[in-house]
Amino acid sequence: MRDIQKNYANKTYLDFSNPEIDKAQKDALATVRSQFGKTYDLYVNGTWVKGDKGTFESINPSNTSEVIGHFQMASAKQAKQALSDAWEAFKTWQYVPVEERAEYLYKMAELIEERRYEINAWMISESGKNYLESDADLCEAIDFLNYYANEAIRLDKGMEVIDSWGDINRTIYIPLGAGVSISPWNFPFAICFGMAFAPIVAGNTVVAKPAPDTPMMGYLIAKLADEVGLPKGVFNFITGDNIEVGETLTTDPSTRFITFTGSKNVGLHINEIAAKVQPGQKFIKRMVCELGGKNAIIVDKNADLEAAATGIVQAAFGFQGQKCSACSRAIVLEEVYEEVLAKVVAKTKALNIGDAKDNPNVTPVVNQKAVDKILYYIELGKQEATLVHGGKRAEVKPEGFYVEPTIFRDVPPTARIAQEEIFGPVVGFIKVKDIDEALQITNDTEFGLTGGFFSNDPATLEKAYREHHVGNLYINRKNTGALVGAQPFGGFNMSGTDGKAGGKDYLLYFLQAKAMTERPMKGVPPVLENFKFTK
């Protein structure tokens, strides 16, 4: 048994204020940037293959003249073949002992650690994250691998049951089959790893389709899987059109489960088309999805206002608000409203904007579509509320997808910028009379992912714990940055299925419980006492 199973702890982030660490990251960036523009293949059934539909470009959002790489456009036929290969691999993978399955994940975690600066450099370049945001993403990937490997070993013991009326009873967890993982661009390494390898370590096989804005991170995952010798067909990496490839995979009658993280509209569409039973389908597909939020931080009149303002800025503008957990509403009691707003504006003005490779506080958003959407909501906000800071595209050279951190005040609770997910660096301030009004407003959206609450009153905090209706509630700290094993992540209502990634329940989405009973016969040793599903 590896020591990590007894001593699991979250990976610590690098300290980029250390000149040696900062230099090491910059050196890795120079190396990675010298490799821009190459062509990368699909990874299907243990083989690197070309796509039937040509290639597409991955663009550096910090500098749109730079091409990260050229990636394959797979066809629907190739997508179906990848799924077929995954089912073929499942025939043997499901019986591989759990300790052996876990070992592949432990090895990948070790390789990520060895290549930390290089992987960070690719993420900085392709997703536009600054150094700390990239390293946090990488650390979460390591945590997912180690944590899920440990959990698979734990669940292999089965469910605790009692014997009854002379019978021997056992209930074990067995894998589902071959499934599909559709991961987002905002956590392109951690979430892609977590959504694919949680099912894999539980004994399933996966076809992974990463977001088209960050295919390099999916390629690096496939490369790691290949390097550790993961059996062919267990993990398949495929890129291509969202309709031709994505819908082909999600509607296929042989797709046993789907993991998805992304927008509410896309997630609901996938849920709808996946729920329709296709001819020849023998099961109800499992859907695990996380669909975003409209998260609020509430500030009480007796709170630490400096800490509250820092938490709002960090949660609203970290990675440009491109987190489903980001703070997009600051709900502040009227007695401290002006003071908190002034502190947030001052802290926001101190943020610097620029190319991710130079490690500024604020970097680009992901693409032009995101710029257009954010600016649309900013213009809408100017009609609904009062603009305090920002409000336009940032002027940064070289040209990239930059938007200024934006703050609105006196936002009506029912305004569209207070109800709809913007997914960008925009936060709206809402003034309230008391905590009851604050809780009523924060809960009055269709989402329920994360929330923050700053107060020094124990009775008020008890009320918040009971009535702030979100999947992840944070008291007296920012409402982003869930840690694997510590804060299982997932939300209520339209925020998704509350799958609680990074928690002890997550692997159960990819397992089914098989109850078995044996009545012993005289002179025949009972088989069930020592039975193992794996071989």
Q: How far is the C-alpha of 61 from the C-alpha of 48, rounded, in Å?
A: 27
Which alpha helices (H) appear in 169-214, and where do they start and end? 190-201
Could you tell me the two tokens for 360? 């500024």
Burial of 110 (0-12, 13-18, 19+ CB in 10 A): middle
DSSP code per residue over 477-517: S-S----TTTS-B--EETTB----BTSTTGGGGGEEEEEEE
- Among candidate residues 290, 327, 404, 421, the one labeled active-site is 290
To the nearest 10 degrees (0 to 180), the angle between helices 190-201 and 215-227 is 40
Q: Please state, as a whole number, how many other Cβ atoms lie within 10 Å of the Cβ of residue 247.
A: 17
Outline where DSSP puts E strands in 183-315. 205-209, 235-237, 257-261, 286-290, 295-299
- Per DSSP bridges, beta strands 511-518 and 168-175 are antiparallel
Q: How far is the C-alpha of 186 from the C-alpha of 194, rounded, in Å?
A: 14
Give the residue from 119, 131, 121 showing the smallest Cα distance to 193.
119
Sign of the dihedral defined by the CA atoms of residues 72, 75, 81, 82, in that order: positive
Backbone angles phi, psi at 256, to 5 degrees: -85, -35
Q: How far is the C-alpha of 395 from the C-alpha of 379, rounded, in Å?
A: 18
Sign of the dihedral defined by the CA atoms of residues 217, 218, 221, 222, in that order: negative
Could you tell me the two tokens for 454? 């700053």
437 noted as active-site residue: no
Sign of the dihedral defined by the CA atoms of residues 512, 513, 517, 523, in that order: positive
290 noted as active-site residue: yes
For tokens 């257009």, the residue is 372
CB 68 within 8 Å of CB 60: yes
Give the residue from 151, 195, 141, 194 showing the smallest Cα distance to 11.
141
CB 82 within 8 Å of CB 162: no
Q: How far is the C-alpha of 407 from the C-alpha of 390, rounded, in Å?
A: 7
- Among candidate residues 139, 324, 327, 421, the one labeled active-site is 324
Q: How far is the C-alpha of 223 from the C-alpha of 479, rounded, in Å?
A: 33
Q: How far is the C-alpha of 67 from the C-alpha of 217, rounded, in Å?
A: 14
**Active site residues per annotation:** 290, 324
